[in-house]
Amino acid sequence: MTDEPTPIGGRARRGQAPIACICPQCGYEAQKTAGVPCRSMTCPKCGIPLMGK
Ligand SMILES: [Zn+2]
């Protein structure tokens, strides 16, 4: 299973903003706000910065 179609523009995820932000500690998920980095939001439970999903 190595005959994949030619990727257009490389990996699709590259340079793409995450669709959600997630807490690395408890798994809390928050909707991503466009233009707002996940790290600027904090988990309401843990109080730590969220990560891009
Ligand atoms: Zn958390």
Asked if pLDDT for residue 11 goes beyond 80, the answer is: no
Q: How many CB atoms lie within 10 A of CB 6?
A: 4
Give the span between the Cα atoms of 53 and 42, in whole angstroms: 14
**Which is more confident, 53 or 27?**
27
6, 19 contact by CB (below 8 A): no
Task: For 18-49, write each residue's pLDDT tens digit.
Answer: 789 999 999 999 999 888 899 999 999 999 99
pLDDT score, position 10:
53
| C-alpha 36 to ligand 1 mean position (Å) | 18
Prediction pTM value: 0.64
Query: 42 CA to middle of ligand 1, Å?
Result: 8
Residue 13, pLDDT > 60, answer no
Strand partners, 35: none
Domain ranges of the chain: 18-45
Burial of 5 (0-12, 13-18, 19+ CB in 10 A): exposed
Higher pLDDT, 42 or 9: 42
